[in-house]
């Protein structure tokens, strides 16, 4: 695995080196066919560098919380528009998440919208993307857009119960603001059924529970 990661990391320069060696061999009198494997490896390497990119290298640093290394890898992608569509979607999702961590919500929204437009090979990943967009819309006070994004997230599916609970609680609050109390209570029950364990989510449930039982509907 380490060897493969090193190969991806230095793939561009190794590909250039292979092509340069092939050209030198041709210039020194070697016929084309003995140099052909080097040309082939160089072209395939360059193609995969720009079509697939080094996104595979991000997983380790992300799990370790090494954000600087993640940003460094992203910066090594010179032409994201050339990436294969699902890879490009992942690229913009990661960029959006990093922007959110830096509380740059406008940039985060821009990147996450690009990712959402491209779609994801995994519906759960697209669901998480829509949920993030929905939460940002709610923070901006755009409840209509927020509801649309969160509904889409629930429909697509959300991979973890904590995020699913957040989605249901957000819908609960949206419907309470709309004074549609029966729907609000239904989403609240669904949020509790997720059995979240995160303190922030549990605190939100306790806060809503204080007065939702007194609401008619």
125 shares its domain with 72: yes
166 shares its domain with 146: no
42 shares its domain with 63: no
Give me the half-sphere count of Cα atoms (radius 13 Å) on the Cβ side of residue 211.
7
Query: Where a domain ends, among 157, 189, 207?
Result: 157
8 shares its domain with 35: yes
Per-residue pLDDT of the chain (217 residues; tens, 9 = 90+): 677 888 888 999 999 999 999 999 998 887 888 889 999 999 999 999 999 999 889 888 887 888 899 999 999 999 999 999 989 998 998 898 888 878 888 898 899 999 888 877 666 678 888 999 999 899 888 999 999 999 999 998 887 888 999 999 999 999 999 989 999 999 999 999 999 988 888 999 999 988 887 776 5
**pLDDT value of residue 212:** 83
**pLDDT value of residue 121:** 63
**pLDDT value of residue 102:** 83
**pLDDT value of residue 169:** 94
80 shares its domain with 127: yes
168 shares its domain with 217: yes
Residue 129 · residue 120 · CB < 8 Å: yes
Q: Which residues 6+ apart lie within 8 Å of 22 measured at CB? A: 35, 36, 38, 39, 42
**pLDDT value of residue 124:** 62
**pLDDT value of residue 122:** 63
DSSP 55: G
61 shares its domain with 148: yes
**pLDDT value of residue 48:** 94
64 shares its domain with 82: yes
Rounded to whole angstroms, how far apart are CA atoms 112 and 166?
Answer: 18
**pLDDT value of residue 217:** 59
Distances 144 to 136, 141, 151 between C-alpha atoms, Å? 12, 9, 11
Query: Where a domain ends, among 157, 190, 207?
Result: 157
| Nearest alpha carbon to residue 96 among 114, 77, 69, 78 | 114
Q: Could you give the number of structural domains in the chain?
A: 3
**pLDDT value of residue 4:** 80
- Residue 90 is part of which domain span? 56-157
Q: What is the CATH number of the domain that holds 64?
A: 1.25.40.10
100 shares its domain with 73: yes
**pLDDT value of residue 170:** 94
28 shares its domain with 66: no
Q: Structure pTM?
A: 0.74
Distances 10 to 46, 170, 192 between C-alpha atoms, Å? 11, 45, 48
110 shares its domain with 164: no
67 shares its domain with 147: yes
């Amino acid at each position: 695995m380490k060897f493969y990661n090193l190969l991806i990391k230095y793939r561009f320069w190794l590909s250039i080196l292979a092509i340069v060696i092939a050209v030198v061999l041709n210039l020194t009198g070697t016929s084309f066919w003995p140099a052909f494997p080097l040309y082939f490896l160089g072209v395939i390497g360059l193609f995969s560098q720009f079509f697939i990119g080094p996104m595979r290298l991000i997983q380790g640093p992300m799990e370790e919380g090494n954000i600087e290394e993640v940003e460094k890898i992203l910066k090594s992608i010179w032409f994201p528009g050339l990436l294969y569509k699902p890879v490009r979607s992942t690229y913009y999702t990661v960029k959006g998440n990093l922007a959110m961590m830096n509380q740059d919500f406008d940039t985060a929204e821009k990147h996450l919208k690009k990712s959402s437009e491209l779609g994801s090979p995994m519906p759960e990943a697209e669901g998480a993307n829509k949920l993030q967009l929905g939460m940002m819309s709610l923070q901006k006070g755009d409840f209509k857009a927020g509801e649309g994004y969160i509904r889409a997230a629930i429909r697509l599916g959300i991979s973890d119960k904590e995020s699913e609970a957040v989605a249901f609680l957000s819908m609960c609050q949206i419907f309470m603001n709309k004074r549609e109390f029966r729907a609000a209570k239904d989403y609240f029950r669904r949020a509790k059924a997720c059995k979240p364990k995160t303190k922030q989510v549990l605190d939100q449930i306790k806060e809503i529970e204080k007065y939702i039982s007194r609401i008619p509907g």
